[in-house]
């Protein structure tokens, strides 16, 4: 195993960041990307050229954790605000049993879709329907209604079945959205120097809509930046609450940790309680570090102290 390296990636978000716990339709989400999400952001460029996105039932990001290429990940949040927004949400997994039984009949769904696409009469009427939508006419509403009825009559059984099955696949929900007021930083402790070049390829963090661009990448030898004396530090990097004796200006959140089982469909991921900078506050977290459990890493900036578990550094 190579000597451990600390890579700090400065990113800027093009828009908001939004990420919810698993199987949640609407809720207050995470104010920061969890460690699992940060490794996922790195895995995307790392495995992109290989054309790999999954590893069996797992996300391919699991390989970076399983192979000990990434040992730790944390996120430095600038000033941020959390806002609730209305959006379209997927709700199939919270439907009643009767509707789910219909949806499970995938053979009938496939048959209906084939019938709709192969029925010449249906296709011609549907094209006419699209043409009417784009027209400006006094008779538009009357013609549309007539054509809609004709379309239903052509394939009434399939139309009704698909409509009844999927009419509630999406709904309107409230979800939290985070806006960062400046550059954010992602810190990785890695053992494979090859990963450094892929960190420049990070383009999204979390959902596909949470696009970012990389502004700078800093690289440190871990052994050169360990601070064994400072027991009170300021930082905006989140860290496990268990590594602190006391802390101020902190909000606590349960975030998924770097466990390979957290990279498969898991409604109850393994989490740890993390200390995150308070919303709408420019002040960093003031931490009394438990030096029996943690190391402090100096990243050439008073507010960019990284607090990491001792077992991570000692394992490396």
Domain spans, the chain: 5-87+174-315, 96-167
Predicted local distance difference test score (pLDDT) of residue 276: 97
Predicted local distance difference test score (pLDDT) of residue 125: 66
Asked if residues 151 and 159 have their Cβ atoms less than 8 Å apart, the reply is: yes
CB environment 172-208: b (16+ within 10 A), e (fewer): ebebbbbebeeebbbbbbbbbeebeebbeebbbbbee
Predicted local distance difference test score (pLDDT) of residue 288: 96
Asked if residues 231 and 68 have their Cβ atoms less than 8 Å apart, the reply is: no
CATH number of 5-87+174-315: 3.30.70.3120
Predicted local distance difference test score (pLDDT) of residue 167: 61
Question: Which two tokens mark 159?
Answer: 């139309």
Positive or negative CA dihedral for 99, 103, 108, 113? positive
Taking phi first (over 0 means left), then psi (-120 to 50 degrees means alpha), and beta for anything else, what does residue 56 get? left
What are the 10-residue block averages of pLDDT along the chain, 316 residues in total? Answer: 87 89 67 95 86 74 92 96 80 64 62 68 65 57 68 61 62 83 96 94 84 94 89 94 95 93 80 95 94 92 83 77
Predicted local distance difference test score (pLDDT) of residue 267: 65
Residues near 315 by beta carbon (within 8 Å), at least 6 away in sequence: 71
């Amino acid at each position: 195993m190579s000597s451990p390296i600390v890579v700090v990636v400065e990113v800027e978000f093009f828009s908001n960041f939004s990420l919810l716990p698993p199987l949640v339709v609407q809720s207050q989400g995470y104010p920061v990307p969890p460690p699992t999400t940060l490794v996922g952001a790195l895995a995307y460029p790392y495995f992109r050229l290989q054309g790999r996105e999954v590893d069996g039932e797992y996300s391919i990001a699991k390989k970076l954790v399983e192979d000990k290429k990434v040992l730790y990940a944390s996120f430095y949040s600038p000033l941020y605000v959390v806002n609730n927004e209305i959006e379209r949400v997927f709700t199939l997994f919270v439907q009643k049993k009767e509707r789910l039984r219909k949806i499970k009949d995938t053979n009938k769904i496939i048959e209906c879709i084939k019938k709709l696409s192969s029925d010449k009469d249906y296709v011609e009427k549907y094209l006419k329907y699209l043409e009417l939508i784009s027209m400006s006419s006094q008779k538009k509403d009357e013609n549309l209604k007539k054509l809609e009825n004709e379309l239903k009559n052509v394939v009434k059984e399939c139309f009704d079945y698909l409509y009844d099955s999927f009419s509630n696949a999406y709904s309107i929900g409230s979800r939290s959205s985070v806006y960062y007021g400046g550059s954010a930083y992602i810190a990785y402790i890695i053992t494979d120097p090859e990963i450094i070049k892929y960190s420049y390829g990070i383009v999204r963090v979390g959902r596909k809509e949470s696009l970012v661009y990389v502004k700078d990448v800093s690289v440190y030898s871990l052994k050169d930046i360990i601070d064994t004396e400072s027991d009170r530090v300021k930082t905006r990097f989140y860290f496990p609450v268990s590594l602190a004796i006391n802390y101020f200006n902190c909000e606590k959140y349960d975030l998924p940790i770097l466990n390979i089982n957290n990279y498969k469909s898991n409604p109850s991921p393994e989490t740890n309680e993390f200390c995150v900078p308070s919303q709408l506050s420019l002040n960093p977290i003031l931490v009394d570090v438990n030096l029996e459990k943690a190391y402090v890493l100096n990243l050439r900036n008073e507010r960019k102290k990284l607090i990491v578990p001792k077992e991570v550094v000692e394992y490396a």
